[in-house]
Structure 1
């Protein structure tokens, strides 16, 4: 990341000595920092689409007639296949569209492959972005992921190994985008605007079109930005004067490993991501198999929960910052947001198999489960900015990498459960998600903190 210049440091001290610049005096929605948040949002919208496109297209890609027992539900018999009639499946697809003989376990491996790559790059991406700049790391990774998406259909025709390898490489690119973007908020987000700025950015996954916009419009910090308003620049610098380190310090790895608040954040992120991955990956398959909906309607219904989630993330982020202005403790706000994003979502998913006979109720529960899950974004997911602002880019990447383990395990375990227990498969998948999510939430509620930890404060010594 670009260092603050000596002049900038001097200005920061001068401003710090006077009264703090009021947020009301600084530009808001039309400001440069919100423009940066919107660009990150566009980037996230693109990579999210690139990440989940296989989850939707899988319904049409597989020869479901060979594996119909795998998706039986405990409450009622299921249709013979995803399209209602075993003779209609090939006819419902365009002529020449390839259909693959992938059972649920193989599908789980394909779903997981992208996450193997993400685990490799999430943690180092935050550290790398903090060193060389978010603009370079995220921009290059965005272009790479977009090109790999274009190659995916060809890779599937070459064979399963080529497809899995392509998705692993794409996952590495996505990991650089996911983890690398958080370094930018060390320099751009005033403390009382972090929830909403991160919410604007995260609520969205063009890649090749967005790449040049990213290169032209995004800069690593306010000092490097050529068009930022002077008042806004001074406001951001002064609000971060006590948090942005003036020198590069080594990471206190040993202290991080011993930090219970950090572990509580990582465990909660893991458990919540398990829940969200089950919803994200299996919503299209569940709707298609249980309710006998064809791929066109299934695509729309599968997208509906994420449209609601997009709106909820915006509202939740603004609510979190609003509560802070009303003198709520920061740790209270983070935990309230985390509870609202965890408990209702997992509970609705737990109830889902018992109301599968009612189409409207089931789709409503899926929609609410996914939508409310995004309330966690202004909660546990931005907690690293609170407990260790100087190392937040690395910690947010690391916590996402730890959470991404669930993206590997969830589809693999879920695919196994669906294959081994045709009668109670969905109920087992959703019950396991509820248990894991609840345990992670309890751990965070007990041990989660929002004050800067001792190991994260600036020290005169350059080593542990």
Structure 2
């Protein structure tokens, strides 16, 4: 596996000098292999997040509610009137799990996910990212298909299956970062990576409402069967269409191959098998990303795992309405993530704005915006329209951070981007493990005041992360990333 470093980018110069750009003939984007990889990997992350979040909606229908035949009669806000419709299918098993057990089930995925982050980055660099990512997702698909069986056996078995799913998914993001280090020309990184990673948001957008429909018309078990089948389709496509690097792709045009390799030729590490662990672990800019990633994910995972519960228990939406409304915030996130990627690269390439400035500004907007509207959502009472609007704006603005700290790993150390992502995502997975448990512990009675506390905690952590990244984030390649002895300014 080839390792890539980077030429040094001082904050007072563009990423690539104009003379260097003239020597690199840009290959068209339309029909290109690099944008084909972006779309295929986006489909992969669509599958990843579909498999991750479908339990959040299915959980609403998996619980035994003996108080009423409806799904929303005990909510804080008045129940919503529904037009005449087919009868809700209740043929699948239901379970008597209390709030604490629900929190552990929803958070258990991340106990496996955290185990393979750093290992995933290391293995991708050693053996290649294609099969690591493909087999990781295939393993997740297999255990997703076993979810209904595990639930029937008991909560402990379901937790174990979710942990195993997390282990499989844990390698996906580090593997893809390693692949992009070989595929993404420096001035197209924001565009390519946002296209690639919006699949995660699209998976959420589609799986939340579709899971609600599947639960209503079929039963909750089919949620796992349907998305598992979609995952198998992706694996077949990935097997035949994805390749570790442009040099191993049999169908890439020579123009595009030269464009990519020439734009990265000064970024090759001088020591292919060398990993400067000490320098990595003591890097200030890396720890700034760690703090930002952790903070952002606290809010993200709180909403990802518990938004359907909030929609039902507080706002009183039925299972059919729930999935549709829970998906709205992520539609906005997809739109702003794509737009921010285009704008970020435009500012860097055309306007010559420093990379560090672009990353920090986009991170501030993508972290403080969600914090403000999340807190505001807690004070909307039973104003359904305003509550959904604020929650949508909160998640939508979070999409801007896709061109901020989220891809800063490739700026500061493209040679080791997969390993760096593994490190930051290890810490960023902790919120997924603990935030659902803490949130459900704080919302035993599901009152609006209890949920306000949950939102305040998330917003405060977001504010802290944005502050730390603004102070200590960097946009240039760190000296240890190219394994040379010279110094350069930040």
Q: TM-score, normalised by structure 1?
A: 0.89
Is the 8 Å Cα contact of residues 108 and 433 (structure 2) preserved in structure 1? yes
Tell me if 1:387 matches 2:412.
yes
Shifted more, 343-352 versus 301-310: the winner is: 301-310
> Which residue does 1:105 correspond to in 2?
100
Following superposition, the deviation at residue 30 of structure 1 comes to: 2.1
Contact 1:124 1:398 in 2 (8 A): no
- Secondary structure, in 3 states, of the residue corresponding to 1:366? helix
Output the CA distance in 1 between the equivalents of 2:316 and 2:448. Answer: 17
- What is the DSSP-based 3-state SS (H/G/I as helix, E as strand, rest coil) of the residue aligned with 1:25? coil
The corresponding residue for 1:202 is 197
- Which stretch shows the higher mean deviation, 404-413 or 429-438? 404-413
Residue 28 of structure 1 is matched in structure 2 by 29
Alignment partner of 1:433 is 2:458: yes
The aligned counterpart of 1:298 is 322
1:211 to 235, 238, 241: 235
Counterpart-to-counterpart distance in 1, 2:96 and 2:77: 20
Matched, 1:271 2:295: yes
Q: Distance in 2 between matches of 1:22 and 1:55?
A: 51
Instruction: Summarize deviations over 1:337-366 as a string: whole Å, max 9, x none.
Output: 111111111110011111122111110111
Alignment match, 1:9: none
Matched residue of 1:370: which SS?
helix
Look up the match of 1:243. 267
Q: CA deviation at 1:41?
A: 0.2
Instruction: After TM superposition, list the pairs within 5 Å mapping 1:299-318 onto structure 2.
Output: 299-318=323-342
Deviations 1:225-280 (A, max 9, x none): 11111111111111111212253243222222221111110010000000101111
Distance 2:22 2:57 in 1: 48
Cα deviations by residue, 1:204-243 (Å, 9 ceiling, x for unpaired)? 1411111111011111111111111111111111111121
Equivalent pair of 2:45/2:197 in contact (CA under 8 Å): yes
Question: Do 2:64 and 2:96's aligned partners in 1 also have CA atoms closer than 8 Å?
Answer: yes
After TM superposition, the structure 1 stretch with the greater mean CA deviation from structure 2, 185-194 or 302-311, is 302-311
| Alpha-carbon separation, structure 2, partners of 1:146 and 1:376 | 29
What residue number does 1:377 align with?
Answer: 402
Where 2:470 maps in the other structure, the secondary structure is helix
**Contact 2:271-2:483 at 8 Å conserved across structures:** no
Measured in 1, the distance between the counterparts of 2:399 and 2:319 equals: 26
CA contact 2:329–2:396 (8 Å) conserved in 1: yes
Runs of 4+ in 1 over 6 A off after TM superposition: 82-85
Q: CA deviation at 1:396?
A: 1.1
* SS of corresponding position for 2:267: coil
**Structure 2 counterpart of 1:358:** 383
1:54 counterpart residue number? 55
Pick aligned residue for 2:176 from 174, 181, 192: 181
1:281 positional shift: 1.2
My pick for the range that moved more, 226-235 or 19-28, is 19-28
- Counterpart selection for 1:443 from 458, 461, 468: 468
Q: Deviations over 1:391-450 (max 9, x none)?
A: 111101211111011111111111111127856210110000011110011000000001
- Aligned CA distance change for structure 1 residues 23 and 356 (closer, same or farther; 3 Å): farther
Match of 1:141 in 2: 136
Q: Give unmatched runs, 5+ long, in structure 1.
A: 5-15, 86-90
Q: Distance in 1 between matches of 2:173 and 2:416?
A: 16
Comparing 122-131 with 19-28, greater Cα deviation is found at 19-28
CA distance in 1, matches of 2:360, 2:394: 18
Cα distance change, pair 439–145 in 1 and its aligned pair in 2 (3 A)? same
Contact 1:21 1:235 in 2 (8 A): no
How many aligned residue pairs are there?
A: 437
TM-score by length of 2: 0.84
* TM-superposition CA deviations, 1:121-171 (whole Å, max 9, x none): 111101111111111101111211111111111110111111000000000
Q: Deviations over 1:278-299 (max 9, x none)?
A: 1111111111122221101111
Task: Verify the 8 A CA contact 1:309 1:371 in the aligned structure 2.
Answer: yes
- Whole-angstrom distance in 2 between the partners of 1:283 and 1:381: 23
Structure 1 contact 312–375 (Cα < 8 Å) conserved:
yes
Q: Do the aligned partners of 1:56 and 1:302 also contact (CA within 8 Å) in 2? A: no
> Residues 363 and 422 (structure 1 numbering): CA distance in 2 closer, same or farther, change over 3 Å?
closer
Provide the alpha-carbon RMSD of the alignment.
Answer: 2.6
Distance 1:24 1:361 in 2: 50
Aligned equivalent of 1:220, options 226, 244, 248? 244
Range that drifts further, 143-152 or 239-248: 239-248
C-alpha distance in structure 2 between counterparts of 1:103 and 1:57, whole Å: 15
For 1:77 and 1:231, the matched residues in 2 are separated by: 61
Residue aligning to 1:285? 309
CA deviation after TM superposition for structure 1 residue 458, in Å = 2.3
